Every structure is written in C-alpha cells, then in structure tokens.
Amino acid sequence: MPSNHKIQRYVAPVEETPVAAVDAVKFDGKASSVWGDAWKDMRSRWLTWACLALIALIAVVALFPQLFTSQLPTGAACDIANFRQAPGNGHVLGTDAQGCDVYSRLIYGTRASVTVGLVATILATLVGCVIGAIAGFYGGWLDAVVSRLGDIFFAIPTVLGAIVVMQVMPWERNALTLAIVLAVFGWPQIARIMRGAVLSAKNADYVTASIALGVSRAKILVKHVVPNSLAPVIVIATVSLGVFIVSEASLSFLGLGLPLSTASWGADISAGRATLRTDPALIFWPSLALALTVLAFMTLGDIVRDALDPKARARR
Amino acid sequence: MSEGFTITPDPSREGETPLLQVRDLQITFKTVGGEVNAVRGVSFDLYQGENLAIVGESGSGKSTTATAILDLLAENGRVSGGSALFNGKDLTKLSRKEMEHIRGREIGYVPQDPMSNLNPVWNVGFQVKETIEANTSLRGKAAKDRVIEVLKEAGLPDPASRLRQYPNQFSGGMRQRVLIGIGMSARPKLLVADEPTSALDVTVQRRILDHLGTLTREHGTSVLFITHDLGLAAERAEKLVVMYKGQVVEYGDSKEILADPQHPYTKRLVAAAPSLASRRIQSAVEGKSTPGTVGDAIAVARSEAAQSEVATEAPLISVDNVTKIYNISQGGFRKTQFKAADNVSFQIAKGKTMAIVGESGSGKSTIAKLFLKLEDITSGTMTFDGRDVGSWPKRELLEFRRRVQPVFQDPYGTLDPMRSIGASIAEPLQTHGIGDKASNRKTVAELLEQVSLPADMANRYPNELSGGQRQRVAIARALALKPEVLVLDEAVSALDVLVQAQVLQLLADLQAELDLTYLFITHDLGVVRMVADDVTVMRQGQVVEAASTDEVFENPKEQYTIDLLVAIPGGKFEFGKSA
C-alpha cells in the first residue's frame, strides 16, 4: 500500500470474486407456476399423502359401501332381539340399541355425512365466490347491498339457522336439502374472504395494464382477478368442509337432520348418547369416524395454505 | 470460500483502537434448498467519529451484515464464522441480555421504512419515551423533557406540541426524523442507518442527511450507512465497503474508490450510477458504435447532428391547460376538492422522450393516468396525433389503446403471477384479435428477443424472474401491438442501478429502432439526464419549469429546479474521473 493513502485500500482479487453478467437469465429445472410450486412443496410432505390417502379411503367407502360390509345398516337387517351385543358373532363392532350392525352403520353412514359436507361446501363456495367477486370488483352500491346481505346471514349461526329451516319443512329431510340449507348460511364467510382478495388483486398493476390494453372489465375479472384471489378461498373451503360435516352431525344429533331411516354418523352419535355410560363403544365409533374425516380435510386445508405461502414454507 | 482479507490499521489513526472491528464475518441462512452463505468474509474497521457506508445492490448481503452486528438476524440465519468486535466485546458471541444492554444504549439503529417502523396505535411521544426509559435512568418529567430535547435535536419543528400526535399525522420525512431521534436518544457511540432515506423525496432526503451529519458530528457518533446509492455513500461517508454477492470487492477511502474504481464490479457500478454528469444514452443501433458495456454507452455524448434535427412539424402529443380535480370524501356527504394537476401544458414531438419529473404529490403520475385514459380530464385538452384524447369515440378506443401503451413501476405487480410469460405477452394480441395461436407464438418469441430475453421464457412464470427481467417482459407486452407511444410511469425506479442502466439502454435502442415516443414519469433527475430530450418539472400539480434536458441541467431558471438538482446525492462528484 502506498503511504499517501489515509485509509487502507483493498481490492478483492477478481478470481475470488467473479463478476457475473448483469441480470443474467438463469433457470434451473422445469418451469414452475404458483400452483406448481405449491404442489411441489405439498408433494414432499408425508402429511399430505396421509391426508390424501384417508380422503381417498373415505371417498371409496362413501361410493361403494357394499365393498366393505355385506350387512345392511337399517330396516330388515336389524333384529331388535339382537340389541346391544358385544363384538363378535358376525358383528365386528357389535350391534346398537335397534339391533343394527354398528360397523355397517358406520360404513353406510359415511355417504350421508360426506355428501352433505361436499355438496354444502361446493354450493357455498360457488355462491360465495361469485357474490364476493362481484361485490369486491364492482364496488359502490352493489358492494354495500351485497355486503350487508352477507352480514345478515353471517349474524345467524349456521346450525341455529338450519334448525329453524329444518323445523318448518320436516317433509323434505334428505342429504340434498340439508346441504342446501347449510350452504345458505355458510356462503357469507366465503364471500367475505373472496371480496377481500378481489379488492387487493384488482388494484394490481397487471390489472391496470390490461385496462390500458382495452380488455373489458368482465374479462379482467374472470381472467386476472379471480384466479389471483382463489388461494385463500380454497383454504377456507377445505376447512369449512369439515365444519359442514360436523353441522350435519349436530343437526342429526338434534333429530333435525337426516331421517332415522338413513344411516348417518350424526344420528348414531345422537342414539349412542343414551347409552354413553353403559356402552360407550356405540358413541365412540361414529365419533371417531367423524373426527378422522374432519381432521383429514382440515389438515389438508392447512397444508394447502402453508404451500401457497412462501413465508410459511421458509419457516419449516 | 474466500478467506477474508487482512485489515491494517489506518495510517492516519495510528495507535487508536477501532470502535467496530469486523473480521471475516460469515452469515449462513437455512432455507428449504439447504444452507445459503449470504455473507462470506466481510471485514472492516470503523473508528470513533468516522462514517462508513456499505454499498451494494439487493442481495449483496449489505443489510444482512448490519442486522448481524445488531444481532437481529432472522430466525433461520446465524453467524457461522468471524467476529464483530465492538469496544472489545464480540457482538456475535454476546448473550441476549448483554446484547439488549448494548442495543439502543451503545448502538443506535435507524430503520429503512419510516411508514412501518412507528407503531400507529401509540402517539409519537410515547414511542420516544419508551426508548429513553429502556436505555437510561430518566423517568417521569425528566424523561419527558428528554423526549422533547431528542425530537428537537432530530430537527422536528415544535416538538412539545407534537408529542401527543400519532404517526399518521406525520409526513414521511417527519417520521424519519422521529426515528433518527429514537436512534440517537441514548447517545450511542455507533448509529446503524439502514437505507435511512431511500423512501423519501430527494429534497427531504438531503435535509435529513444534512441534519443527521451535524447531529452525529456534534456527539462524535460513528455512523454505519447501508445504502444502494453510490452517490449518497460517497457524500456521507469517508470510508466505503463495496459488497457483491456476499463478499467485499473493494474497501477504502470513498472518494478514492469513486474516482478510481479498481474491481470490475465497482467499475461497472460507478459507470452506471446516474448523476448530473451523466449523458443521454445513445442507442447502439443508431450510432453503429460497438455495443459495449452499459457504462460505455452512457458515456457517449449526444451528437450535435441528432440535436439539430428537432423538427418544426406538429407535435405528436400536445397537452394544453389540463386540470384534474379529485373529490375526496371526508366521511358522510362532505367532500373536499383536490387539484392533482393544475393547468399543465407541454408538447412531445414524434420519436422524442419527454420526462416529467417531480417529487411525490407533484401530479406527475396523474398526467400519465389522464393520458392513458385511465381517468377523465376535468378541464383542458390532450391531443394525440391531432385528435382530442378526451373525446376519443368509444368504439375507436381499441385503436387508441393499440397506439399508446403503459409500463408501470412495480416489477412485482406488473405481471399476473398466475399466467405464463407467453400468455401475458400474447394478451394484447388476443384482445385486439390479431393473429392465430401459431403466429402469436412466433410474435411472442420475437418480442422476447427484442427485449433481450430467451424465447423459451414464454413457458415460464413470473416468480422465476428478477425485477429487471419482469420489467423487460412488461416492455415486451407493451410493444406487442406496435404502439407509437410508451408511457413509462417510474418504470425503472424499483430496479438496482446496474439493471436500471440496462433497461434504460434497452429503451434507447427500442426508441431508435421503432421510432417510439416516450412519456417518461420519474422522480429521479439522474435518470432524466440519461434518457430525456425534454423535461417538465412539476410541483404540487403545477409545471415549474419546462425546457430541453441540457438547458434544465446546465442553466436551471427556477429555484425549485435548482433545489432538486442540488439534492441529488453525489451530484457534485465526477464518477470514475480518472478511470
């Protein structure tokens, strides 16, 4: 170092600090999109596969219950003389107070519970997305009216609202009507989330750029705003699937859900309540099935949320 | 891995122990993809009363180094080697308790973003008092008096009556003064200032840095600046550490480094830094000069010939007495009017670049929105190619949209993250019903090539691209319809200086090649010097000065323009003079 320097001067050897081209394009591996990345992240977690396996099993059971049991859960298959038998003797989990096979009721009950949950979720998500997106995107009086309408439904607890509706129309108690009733009280939550996501997405520069290209408002909503707002909705939808299944169980438990002739977990939990102390197994099995199903969907929702949030990914 | 390098004591500081001695500092982050060495062997000495700046672009590890010194690294980061001796204590080895004692009391910190670093639910006085009570033995009335003193020192006017005000009642500059007050409140020996003014307007930035300089000099406080701005670093610090990819590439006297950069990276950085001494970028296409480095192109002076051909033909764009008034709802039915643009007039000739420059709230972006027909004009006229933009017939709007295209500021917001690059660039073609799928794919490839990106990028998604690359894709999308005018609203402001120079060069080349006219909105006068033929300076909605670029820079008429020019950090330096 020359001595006229007041301060030491150091220049790194170029070999040790090679300078790359400015803003060079470098890709490694295959192209990835937001959803592609999320899936890649989910794929690497065993919990994802556990949830998916459980959900697949539940789906198969719901679609083809006869594959899992040769006995029917209701009607003639039940012999009142055989009531509350211990496991064995052809009944894997024993029989209930009506003499019906507990295991077959569990298997056949899957369909009712899952159908109600799925249909209610799909309906609530569709309605909620459409209404929330329109309210958020167009704003103004439309937003005010729709948001207040949502608030009204939001103020009524889902189960309470469903109790009232199911009470006044006892002749229409089946899985579909139950799902519709649950969706009617469940959509405002989805709509709220969608509205918020749309509000932030619609101010993005790419939306302004599309307006400046001459793309119509409706097309912008469908092509740019909605796809960018779906992530939080999907997360909430998977969670609410679990909530709807529980609601069906609650309503059936109260005797306001599905008719007794239809096997459902809620109805069985309700029936098992009477013998909680003498024969807890009757309430245990349907409760376990319900808990596992809800847990599978909710955990999947959590995994999806983590996978879509890069910060949550980095934390792990 | 680099071994770090040996630091010898500064000859002028013979026998003195440096306040802060950083030696071969290594910082590692744990990520999903494994361990990442963010900082690899940083060393420097900072003496009492000295100012040192760490300069680098985003991702160079400059902020990481500062956060490690403060022991504020993110949870997944750790110091994996080296030391940072502060007054003889190694900061990287102290317990949390010991560090809490030093932080605030002996090392003050001024954070980057004044908007998010004050808690909005507490008044300003409370927040300063909190710091004082944590770091001194003052309580009650004494503490309150100290708060007023601290804020007064930080240059906040009338501090006593402002104690009860909340952060939202303060401007960005005033908030930054509060943060400086908090940082200096316990009379620390060292102040770490992480990009302290990069969110502020240049004139405010200058005032605050001047004040910070005076304050720290008075108390003999050493300052560690973290900045991306080479000019600011040279102006405010005697010593410079230039970082690149986690390593120190150059270290020494800041003026010496700027005047005579040695490392190729520093040379590049110095060449690309926009300053008053910059010249308009010439297109390599036009000048037939060798397409060398970015720096070479900037240095090329404007040819006399190009200047004299300023035609007398009618301007392509003419803005006459345009006013835009916004009605701002004050809650309920009360409304106030806000004049965002007030009687603005200017003309742009075909193939030229007009820069509209101003600080925040000057109305420069409003002009862009009005011209893009994203907002309606309140009064006045804007004509494009002899036709009134305001009364452009609705059914011919697509034609207007085809001829005038925008590029926006935020590289992370400008592309739809859910759509591939190819789909984004093809959108204008589809919207205007041009071409079929096969021909569009070809057009997209051509457009990508035009902005110097590989054609196979079409299948990629924006998340894989850097900010500069995204901005180039946005330019490609804007060019898809072969427009005549590009409205560039702060299009390069968010980019690192090297990438910024590269995009500006691209814009100059495209202008020469396609005979484009640019309306260039910016807050950065250095950039204006590099791209514009004419300048309109705006302030609070009004035009302050309008003239050719050379005239505004060499012979500014209005005081405000002079203020703006003087405020450019490092404006008076001749970058790379002897290089």
Contact criterion met (CB < 8 Å) for A23 and B466: yes
Query: Three-state DSSP class for B103?
Result: strand
User: Which residue reads 């003889």 in tokens?
Assistant: B88
Query: Three-state DSSP class for B384?
Result: strand
The Cα–Cα gap between B516 and B485 comes to: 6
Q: How far is B431 from chain A (nearest CA, A)?
A: 6
pLDDT at A197: 93
The Cα–Cα gap between A20 and B134 comes to: 46
Q: Which residue of A has its CA nearest to B411?
A: A205
Q: Each residue of A232-268: pLDDT tens digit? A: 898 889 888 878 888 888 888 787 877 777 788 877 8
Rg (CA), chain B: 26
Q: Each residue of B136-190: pLDDT tens digit? A: 888 888 999 999 998 888 888 888 888 888 888 888 888 888 999 899 888 899 9
Taking the CA atoms of residue B246, residue B247, residue B252 and residue B254 in that order, the dihedral angle to the nearest 10 degrees is -40
Considering CB atoms only, which of B76, B414, B432 is closest to A209? B414
Tokens for B392, please give them.
Answer: 């452009």
Contact criterion met (CB < 8 Å) for A228 and B416: yes
State pTM to two decimals. Answer: 0.82
Q: How far is A211 from chain B (nearest CA, A)?
A: 8
Q: Which residue of A has its CA nearest to B1?
A: A16
Closest CA to B231 of B276, B189, B164: B276
Which amino acid makes up residue A40?
Answer: K
Kindly write down the DSSP assignment for every residue of B507-576, as one continuous string.
HHHHHHHHT-EEEEEES-HHHHHHH-SEEEEEETTEEEEEEEHHHHHHS--SHHHHHHHHHSTTTT--TT
Contacts of A45 in chain B (CB under 8 A): none
pLDDT for A1 beyond 50: no
- Share the mean pLDDT of chain A: 83
Interface test with chain A among B464, B477, B482, by most A beta carbons within 10 Å: B464
The listed CATH number (1.10.3720.10, 3.10.180.10, 3.40.50.1110, 2.60.40.10) that belongs to domain A53-71+91-314: 1.10.3720.10
Considering CB atoms only, which of A12, A35, A316 is closest to B263? A12
Query: Which of A5-9, A121-125, A229-233, B441-445 is predicted least confidently?
Result: A5-9
**A24 interface with B at CB cutoff 8 Å:** no
CB within 8 Å of chain B, chain A residues 223-282: 224, 227-228
Q: How far is B461 from chain A (nearest CA, A)?
A: 5
Closest CA to A162 of A135, A139, A180, A141: A180
Evaluate whether B509 touches B472 at the Cβ level (below 8 Å).
no
Residue B226 C-alpha from the chain's centroid: 14
Bin B452: left if φ > 0, else alpha if -120 < ψ < 50, else beta. left
Kindly write down the DSSP assignment for every residue of B520-531, as one continuous string.
EEES-HHHHHHH
Interface test with chain B among A4, A5, A8, by most B beta carbons within 10 Å: A8
Q: How far is B288 from chain A (nearest CA, A)?
A: 22
The Cα–Cα gap between A192 and A15 comes to: 57
Q: How far is B503 from chain A (nearest CA, A)?
A: 10
Q: Each residue of A100-130: pLDDT tens digit? A: 888 888 888 888 888 888 999 999 999 999 9
Which amino acid makes up residue B253?
Answer: D
Q: Each residue of A147-177: pLDDT tens digit? A: 898 888 888 888 888 888 888 877 777 888 8
Q: Each residue of B355-401: pLDDT tens digit? A: 999 988 888 989 999 999 988 899 999 999 988 988 888 888 888 99
User: Which residue reads 């405002």 in tokens?
Assistant: A188
pLDDT at A31: 67
**A5 interface with B at CB cutoff 8 Å:** yes
Evaluate whether B382 touches B370 at the Cβ level (below 8 Å).
yes
**A313 interface with B at CB cutoff 8 Å:** yes
Q: How far is B571 from chain A (nearest CA, A)?
A: 23
Contacts of A10 in chain B (CB under 8 A): 5, 7, 248, 250-252
Q: Each residue of B406-441: pLDDT tens digit? A: 998 888 888 998 888 999 999 999 988 888 889 999
Query: Count of A–B CB contacts within 8 Å?
Result: 162
ipTM: 0.78
* Sequence ranges of the domains in chain A: 53-71+91-314
Contact criterion met (CB < 8 Å) for A210 and B427: yes
CA distances from B532 to B203, B507, B566 (A): 21, 11, 19
Considering CB atoms only, which of A1, A37, A314 is closest to B76? A314
CA distances from B576 to A18, A162, B262, B271, B495 (A): 21, 77, 10, 7, 22
Closest CA to B561 of B171, B274, B202, B207: B202
**A76 interface with B at CB cutoff 8 Å:** no
The Cα–Cα gap between A290 and B95 comes to: 49
pLDDT at A3: 42
Q: Point out which residues pair with A6 in neighbouring strands.
A: none
Going along chain B from its start, the domains and CATH numbers come out as 310-567 (3.40.50.300)
Evaluate whether A93 touches A102 at the Cβ level (below 8 Å).
yes
Bin B48: left if φ > 0, else alpha if -120 < ψ < 50, else beta. beta
Q: Which residue of A has its CA nearest to B8?
A: A8
Contacts of B75 in chain A (CB under 8 A): 315
Contact criterion met (CB < 8 Å) for B244 and A1: no
- Strands B190-194, B222-227: pairing kind: parallel
Q: What's the CA angle centered on B278, arms B273 and B284, to 5 degrees?
A: 95
The Cα–Cα gap between B278 and B301 comes to: 9
Exposed/middle/buried for residue B537 (C-beta within 10 Å: 0-12, 13-18, 19+): buried
The Cα–Cα gap between A44 and B255 comes to: 52
Contact criterion met (CB < 8 Å) for B502 and A9: no
pLDDT range class, residue B522, cuts 50, 70, 90:
very high
